[in-house]
Amino acid sequence: LVSADAPIDTPLGLPARVDALEDALQVTTVTGATLQAYINANKYIRLPNDTITISTTITIPSYRTIEGSGRTVIMTTGNGFFINNDTGVVIKNIVFVGDYSTPDITSSTPIADTTNIHDMTSKGGDYGLKILGDSYNIILENLEFYNFSGEGLHCAADQAGGYIYAGSVQANNLFASNCYLGFYLHNASEYNNFVNVKSHNCLIGLRIHGGNNYLSNINMSGNRVGLYLGDGNNNSHGSISNSAFNHNELYGIVSQDIDYGFYFTGCENFDGHIFLIRSIGFSWVGGYTSGSIIYTGGNSNLFHSVIFGADATDDTQAAILDMKNNLFLGGGSATGINN
């Protein structure tokens, strides 16, 4: 057991993350009322294989490791965990469950078009985990988020216009389902690395407004909208590789008012359209898409060496879309997907 008042010294004189199993407080019984006290008093907590119902948001200070055992469930009618201007936090092996009704991703209510996607006027305020402000060196592993009216995971800079700095959130093996928005990298949420992340049956699987975000092996399939790239403070830019955006009901991908570029390599967009709205530098190289590419305005967007499962439409303006070395699956004419 390591007291919160006795940080470990390192050669650099900085507090160290506590990872050793022998340093963990193994909690066998915990309630919502006692969970915050446990976290405040201990650096490393292992929660029981049980359901913990909380009635208030749990705030996580710096240099804490919180680990579930078996299937630890945090049940809430509001918010789950909150990190604000803190560093050196590890959260792993926890399931967060809210009380949002399962959305109907086939319905035009509440998302009928790109205006609804951008404004999210019907999105609620509840979340599973929110990381706010100048937070960095946050590690998330093996987390699940279900039934939140807002987001499963929300990362955002502070309201004063700061940034979540380099090395902020390193995430592996996350899953969101039945949320309005599965994952939200918002307002200058910067330098995040996400691997093996999946959203299913959310109104929007993943929404990115921050820059320098790098994602691989993600699966935003079976939602109403798979991925939304949007404007904001230092608007959406980064890269996604080896990922899928399949069987989304309205759009596979929507890119709106980005002007720093976003780069896709080896990705698959099956049975869904890609909609580019005044976008600059949207780059899709290799991989596959079977839906139409729809666009309005923008420039310097490209699709190179892509296999098309259906002829793309509205793709003849080379100033907006540069289409090169693309092939049509099935042997049809490639003239509609190259210029």
The pTM (predicted TM-score) of the whole model is 0.90
* pLDDT, position 12: 40
Task: Please give the Cα distance from 264 to 305 (Å, whole number).
Answer: 12
Confidence category of residue 145, pLDDT binned at 50, 70, 90: very high
CA angle 308, 311, 313 (to 5 degrees): 120
* pLDDT, position 3: 36
Residue 333 pLDDT > 80: no
Residues 6+ apart with CB under 8 A from 6: none
Residues 6+ apart with CB under 8 A from 102: 147, 178, 201
Written as six digits, the tokens of 84 are 């604000």
Written as six digits, the tokens of 218 are 């993600």
User: What is the residue-averaged pLDDT of the chain?
Assistant: 87
Mapped onto helix, strand or coil, the DSSP state of residue 52 is strand
Over range 91-110, report the average pLDDT: 95
* pLDDT, position 313: 57
* pLDDT, position 4: 40
Phi, psi at 302, each rounded to 5°: -140, 150
Residue 140 pLDDT > 90: yes
* pLDDT, position 190: 84
Task: Please give the Cα distance from 17 to 23 (Å, whole number).
Answer: 11
Give tens-digit pLDDT for 148-174.
999 999 998 755 445 555 458 999 999
Residue 13 pLDDT > 60: no
* pLDDT, position 332: 65
Confidence category of residue 302, pLDDT binned at 50, 70, 90: very high
Task: Please give the Cα distance from 312 to 237 (Å, whole number).
Answer: 24
Give tens-digit pLDDT for 252-266.
999 999 988 999 999
Give tens-digit pLDDT for 265-275.
999 999 889 99
Over range 36-56, report the average pLDDT: 94
Which H/E stretch holds residue 338? none
105, 81 contact by CB (below 8 A): no
